[in-house]
Amino acid sequence: MEQLRHVFQLVIDEAELILPPESKGHILRELKDFVAALDTLDFDDSFELNRLEDALEELESIISIAGSKEFESEADEVVVQLFIQHGVEDLEQILERNLETTLKTVEQKVEKYMSTWSDSRLARNAELVKQFNDFKNEMDVYEKLDKLTNSDFI
């Protein structure tokens, strides 16, 4: 996540130098919110994953706006150009790798916790165990995130 944050902060800093303070760009505001969210996330806390998911959805929205070539303002156009200059194409790959790492950490912690359960507890919580196994066996990172956020085990 640090690589992602670094690139975003570069774009924010340069945009703030270039753009007048009264600029009405949507993307720059969203980027600032995303960086602020990254700065406060505790990746060891599973409840933080909901905040991460929200931030990732915002990022997806930003990337979608950036790719559409239809900007709400000149400020958005400037920010997109700065993204391109700083390698926005790589950001999605960085994001996916970081998300995959975070989900793997959650998986390991839940698996370790469930490994302490007795057979009778596993049987009583069969639906929860099934949800976890579905999550664990999912290969697509976004589907895996969806399974996690719709599960009962976090």
- Residues 6 or more apart whose CB falls under 8 angstroms from that of 28 comprise 12, 15, 16, 19, 75, 76, 79
Per-residue pLDDT of the chain (154 residues; tens, 9 = 90+): 677 788 888 889 999 999 888 887 778 888 888 888 777 777 666 666 666 667 677 677 766 766 666 667 888 888 878 877 876 666 677 778 878 888 999 999 999 999 999 999 999 999 999 999 999 999 998 899 889 888 887 7
Phi first, then psi, for residue 150 (nearest 5°) are -100, 15
Q: If you search the block for the tokens 């196994």, which residue do you land on?
A: 133
Give the pLDDT score at 112: 94
- Alpha-carbon distance of 143 to 84, in angstroms, equals 28
The domains of the chain are located at 2-149
DSSP, collapsed to helix, strand or coil, labels residue 20 as coil
Closest to 141 in 3D by CA, of 89, 108, 110, 98: 98
